[in-house]
Amino acid sequence: MHAIPLTPILLGASSLGSRDGADELADALIHSPLGGVDTSNAYAGGRSEARLGEAIRRAGGLPAGTLVYSKADADESGRFDGDRVRRSLDESLTRLGVDRLPLYHLHDPYTITHDEAMGRGGAVEALIRARDDGVIGAIGIASGTMAQVHGYVQTGAFDAVLSHNRYTLVDRSAHATFALARELGMTVINAAPFGGGTLANGSGNYGYREMPADFAAHLQRVRALADEHGVDLAAAALHFSLTSPLVDATVVGITSTARLAALDGLVTADVPAEFFAAVDALGAPPPSGTD
């Protein structure tokens, strides 16, 4: 496996460019001491990478110690073969204004089969070639559907795996996949530790979907435990991921400079071990309905 330089926290830029204040936020992201920045070719229709690239140019280059990670995406027609991966990578490098990326993922390959992705002339072959050429340092698989992600992890072709909303304080759907990745020596990146905001702002959905009744009941029991122990639930959700032996880095979506400023408080918050023990005593969480 190829080594990947990472910080424990990565700042997610999926919505950068789709809201007001994008320039200010992009500047704040690349200058933040909290960690590197996670983006993708398709985030905000390419505007996430473009805004980050503009911020990098305003800064006269990436600030020392800052890294940006991105992902290859299918084109608008759904094409996701080797040629599309090469074009996606060229688009990403051009928008960001860099010559090389430390990590580039195969992102949400929903429009192709596993065999098409892994076959000759396919997306994975193109990623491996780019890594061999030194244009990217490592390749990853980044997606949501765990059955799909698990299949790609089993190939042993990837250096990293990224999944979102499936390994949180109240959802362990990704556990088997992350454990396998760890056995294979892969880097594990856990995104969306708040379950799409649920564990941070009390949203009635989880992972952007309606919660099954038994999962919602389990979540309420965890909320009650947080109140009982005097714990900030958002801080607990973040620390669950940060302290997991299965996770190398945690991606936290940043939608505003205010949210970025608040993140430091969550990182430094004290979450007692007794709280996590009480959550574990509830037993395995029921399915969250995300897959």
State the pLDDT at residue 250: 98
State the pLDDT at residue 222: 96
Average pLDDT over residues 193-214: 88
Residue 118's CB: how many other CB atoms inside 10 A?
A: 17
State the pLDDT at residue 209: 87
Confidence bin at 203 (pLDDT 50/70/90) = confident
Instruction: Convert the pLDDT of each residue in 68-96 to its tens digit.
Output: 999 999 999 999 999 999 999 999 999 99
Residue percentage of the chain with pLDDT more than 70? 100
CATH of the domain at 47: 3.20.20.100
- Dihedral over Cα of 195, 197, 202, 206: its sign: negative
124 falls within a domain: yes
239 pLDDT higher than 90: yes
Residue percentage of the chain with pLDDT more than 90? 90
288 falls within a domain: no
130 pLDDT higher than 80: yes
2 falls within a domain: no
291 falls within a domain: no
171 falls within a domain: yes
Residue type at 134 in one-letter notation:
G
The residue range of the domain holding 176 is 9-281
State the pLDDT at residue 277: 97
Distance CA(39)–CA(148), nearest Å, equals: 21
- What is the average pLDDT value for the chain, to the nearest integer? 95
Q: Where are the beta strands (DSSP E) in the chain?
A: 9-12, 35-38, 68-72, 104-107, 139-142, 160-164, 187-191, 205-206, 209-210, 249-253
290 pLDDT higher than 90: no
Average pLDDT over residues 261-274: 96
Instruction: Convert the pLDDT of each residue in 174-190 to its tens digit.
Output: 999 999 999 999 999 99
State the pLDDT at residue 205: 87
Give how many domains the chain has, as a whole number.
1
